[in-house]
Amino acid sequence: MNDIMNLFSLNGKNAVVTGANTGLGQGICVALAAAGAHVFGVARRSCDETAAKIAAEGGQFTEVRADLSDFAAIDSILEQVHAHADRIDILVNNAGIIKRCDAIDVTPENWDAVDFLNEKMVFFLSQAVAKQWVADKKGGKIINIASMLSFQGGIRVPAYTSSKSAVMGMTKALAREIGSRGITVNCVAPGFIDTDMTRVLSDEQKDHLQAQIPLGRLGSVDDIAQSCLFLASDAGAYITGVTLHVNGGMYMG
């Protein structure tokens, strides 16, 4: 049993998680910290709630303030992390935005804002971290957050759907190119998760959604966080270039 548990241990590892102050990002931070990682949570706003949850469990957490809508955030993140840790072992690209708009009304500004954070920043932050891994020859793990909409499209969210589809392709491209350097790159694609984004739905809308999910419920933040933990741990050491569906069976690809 101890050997099995050790597979999921992140003791001695440093993990960077973007979008760490709420929702999925917060849950991922808590899960990785509970497994023993020193988690560096990146967000524009305070991560006090995330920090408190991790502290309550005796975990390690350091807040990293950065605005991911600007490329300057990359150097800032690395500088803040390396003030406390010699290297990054795990990068979880969770931060993202969604702008709802009829396709015929989308503006270039709307599209560019979504694409920059959801796709471009994911690649160039991954690139910056991967450069360090290539240099020190110790490898690492990148986990990107895609979406069920990456597979089945989405209504009134064309930029979001496009960006999350691109993240899957980027994941495969990076995994194939840098796998020989001891770096794994994978994706988690959440379905409908019980977060602030879905709590605004009416009971009727939720019932309609749940009727389409074979497991009969919305996903929890923990469902996504535990999937990320699996991919970040030695239990997922031989998995790369994969997009893991975590949607209760609503989409089966």
Kindly list the catalytic residues. Answer: 160
**Site of tokens 């992140």:** 10
Sheet holding 90-93, edge to edge: 60-65, 38-43, 14-18, 90-93, 140-145, 183-190, 243-246
Distance, first Cα to last Cα, the chain: 33
Token pair recorded at residue 105: 């009304």
| CA–CA dist 167, 197 (Å, integer) | 21
Q: Which of 166, 31, 55 is nearest to 111 (CA)?
A: 166
- Residue 250 and residue 228: Cα distance in Å, rounded? 19
List the structure tokens of 234.
């030695």
Phi, psi of 185 (to 5 degrees): -135, 120
> For 45-157, where are the alpha helices, taking DSSP H only?
48-56, 72-82, 108-115, 121-136, 149-152
Residues 6+ apart with CB under 8 A from 115: 159, 162, 163, 166
Tokens 């509970």 belong to 34
Identify whether the C-beta of residue 148 lies closer than 8 Å to the C-beta of residue 191.
yes
